[in-house]
Amino acid sequence: MSSFYMPVRVFEEKDAVAHHAKDIKALGNKALLVTGRHSAKSCGAYDDVVEALTGEGMRYALFDEIEENPSTETIMKARDLGVAEQVDVVIGIGGGSPMDAAKAIALMIYHKEADISYLYQADADSHALPIVAIPTTCGTGSEVTAVSVLTDHSKGVKKSIPHKIFADLALLDGTYVGRAPKQVIANTAIDAYAHLCESYLNTKASAYSKMCVDAGLRTWAKSKDILEGKREAKEADYNNMLRASMFAGMAIAHTATSLPHGFSYTLTYELGMPHGVAVGFFLGGYLAHADAEDRAYLLETAGFSDVEDYRRLYQAICRPGEVAEELLERALGSILENPAKRGAVPYACNEEDLRDMTYDLINHMV
């Protein structure tokens, strides 16, 4: 059986926030703005949202303490602010961390009497306040997924909460991506490509999810030469980058991610390695073990000649640096202990294969 479900209303255009202020207003009267400390303001998105809200007579409160890989403690701190301010809609502005956090915060404000354990309570009610997602990077696709990945310091892990929470409204404007640092664009673009590959090479893949993958790969390829430094980006390129990320998000919303993401969490948690860099570290190995026809499709449609071509670009633009063997072993162990991630792999994959994937980039350093 195949199915397709995408409940998020997506608008992509220049000045999307201003043009859809009334759509935001339809969701509530007072908003909690969820951002990181700097990026939402530096790219102009925060000011655009404030102007849209005030123009519609909406009140708002700001929580701008979302860290990269947000912690459950941060979620609860924001929840307390939202409850105290009596907000009825949550607006996540930024990359994956603020948007993922916004979902969890909306959940916990709705369940204001619940404690922190509710975030990972698998059988709990998942109703949440309405959510608006405004992406400012081109990698996560969180604006169209139901996923919220948090860091649980009490257990020393980074993982998705079991609640499936979609935004109600996603407003995409490539202008914000164009104001992001080039390194952020590179890191998040690799994350988007990984989403496309992991969704396609997945036991849950269907004709519908692959439709999103194909659109995403072809859109992603249009801006690959910018990542390579062959030309400067234009406005249309930033729109393409953001659209490719959105298609990739739609794809993983139906399949979830697979091994590269599973491996990556150890490097992110232990080294503070940016998410896209950590995922891309293991993507070459995942592709190298795939069926030859699938591998060729995923690489060539995105503009790569082979796996080695991907490895070269990744190392050039993401510069992952050295990773200790101890951490690689820990990453491998996390997958060996995770049957769900292994079960997503659509090809034969024993412990020796997993080890080869883990050390793939180390064995092919240029």
Same domain? 216 vs 354: yes
What pLDDT, on the 0 to 100 scale, is given for residue 366? Answer: 63
Angle, CA 140 vertex, CA 139 and CA 146 arms, to 5° = 155
- The answer to whether position 1 is within a domain reads no
Nearest to 167 by CA among 101, 252, 78: 101
Q: Are residues 25 and 123 in the same domain?
A: yes
Domain boundary among 175, 200, 226: 175
CATH number of the domain bearing residue 52: 3.40.50.1970
Q: Compute the distance between CA of residue 251 and CA of residue 4 in angstroms, rounded to an integer.
A: 10
Residues 144, 218 share a domain: no
- Residue 2 belongs to a domain: no
- Where does residue 310 fall: left (phi above 0), alpha (psi -120 to 50 degrees), or beta otherwise? alpha
Clarify whether residues 163 and 233 are in a common domain.
no
Residue 145 lies in a domain: yes
Q: Is residue 307 part of a domain?
A: yes
Report the domain count for the chain.
2
Confirm whether 112 is domain-assigned.
yes
- Pinpoint the alpha helices (H) of 20-128: 21-25, 39-42, 45-55, 72-85, 96-110
Query: In terms of domains, do 131 and 206 share one?
Result: no
Alpha carbons 30 and 56: distance in angstroms, whole number: 11
* 50 & 190 share domain: no
Instruction: Report the interhelical angle of 207-221 vs 182-200 (nearest 10°).
Output: 150
- Tell me the sheet residues that pair with 62: 33
- For position 250, which CATH number holds? 1.20.1090.10
Q: Is residue 67 part of a domain?
A: yes
Domain limit, last residue, from 175, 201, 223: 175
At 365 the pLDDT is 80
Spatial separation of the C-alpha atoms in residues 202 and 187, rounded to whole Å: 23
pLDDT of residue 348: 87
Range of the domain at 129: 9-175
**Secondary structure letter of residue 182 according to DSSP:** H
* DSSP string for residues in 108-141: HHHTTT--GGGGG-TTS------EEEEE-SSS--
User: Is position 27 within any domain?
Assistant: yes
| CA–CA dist 63, 101 (Å, integer) | 11
User: Domain for residue 3, yes or no?
Assistant: no
> 202 and 96, same structural domain?
no
pLDDT score recorded for residue 198:
98
| Domain match, 171 and 208 both | no
The reply to whether 282 and 328 lie within a common domain is yes
Instruction: Give bridge partners of residue 92 from the DSSP assignment.
Output: 34, 133
Name, in order, each residue with C-beta under 8 angstroms of 183's C-beta and a sequence gap of 6 or more. none
User: Do 155 and 199 belong to one domain?
Assistant: no
* Polymer length in residues for the chain: 366
The set of residues, in sequence order, having a beta carbon less than 8 Å from that of 186 and lying 6+ positions away, is 227, 276, 317, 318
* CA pair distance 195, 138, nearest whole angstrom: 12
Confidence (pLDDT) at 2: 80
Considering the domain architecture, whether residues 14 and 58 belong to the same structural domain is answered as yes
The mean pLDDT values, 10 residues at a time, for the chain of 366 residues are: 91 98 98 96 97 98 96 98 98 97 98 97 96 97 97 90 97 97 97 98 97 98 97 97 98 97 95 96 98 98 98 97 95 94 93 96 85
**Statement to judge: residues 123 and 166 lie in one domain:** yes
Domain-ending residue, one of 144, 175, 206 = 175
- For CA atoms 175, 177, 178, 179, the dihedral sign is positive
